[in-house]
Amino acid sequence: MGRILRLDISGTPTSWLSREEAAVLYVKNLVQWEVGDKSLVIFGGTNRFTGKQSSLKISPVIATRGDSHRKKLVSGFNNRMLFRRDNYHCMYCGDKFSHAELTRDHVVPRAQGGLDIWENVVAACGKCNHFKADRTPEQAGMKLLAIPFRPNIFESMYLAQHTILADQMEYLEKQFSGKRIWKAA
């Protein structure tokens, strides 16, 4: 099992947890509600009087009380998240590429005052990015195939995690903006 999706009590994603971090929340009785099949079982020690081994079943999505140390995933990004947002397609030619074959392109180039923000960057293959150079798509005579956008917190949680379980994806995708189609990894 991958990481556990932690939500605040209202159901907003806050972080990805290791199974050990999730176990601590269970033991501290901070888990308020859960989503998904409790397929992860953590085994503890054996009781010397009964001879029984302790165990704890953990759901893939948990909502908790208390301080969640919410990460600001929506504002920050990296190329892996950007390429996943754009589904590993060049936003100019439309072809699909591997991570190593893609580059970050600034729609309004930095040389023209463009910012390094979600709304101004797209995945581009090396050939298209080189051809576009320090021009806007209009100046280069290129068509942008999709408008770049800032993912909401649910989309950011998807983009930040490499492996998403079906129960986690089902929970997250209900709040996706509909600007892209994403599938569980």
Backbone angles phi, psi at 152, to 5 degrees: -75, 175
Domains and CATH numbers, the chain: 1-72+161-185 (no CATH), 79-140 (1.10.30.50)
Contact (CB, 8 A) for 154 and 175: yes
Q: Which of 175, 109, 180, 176 is nearest to 138 (CA)?
A: 109
d(CA 51, CA 129): 65
Distance CA 15, CA 6 (A): 5
Q: Is the pTM of this model over 0.85?
A: no
Amino acid 28: pLDDT: 94
| pLDDT at position 71 over 70 | no
Q: Mind listing the pLDDT tens digit for each residue in 4-52?
A: 999 999 999 999 999 999 999 999 999 999 999 888 899 988 999 999 9
Cβ proximity of 85 and 150 under 8 Å: no
- In 3D, which of 150, 110, 111, 145 has the Cα closest to residue 125? 145
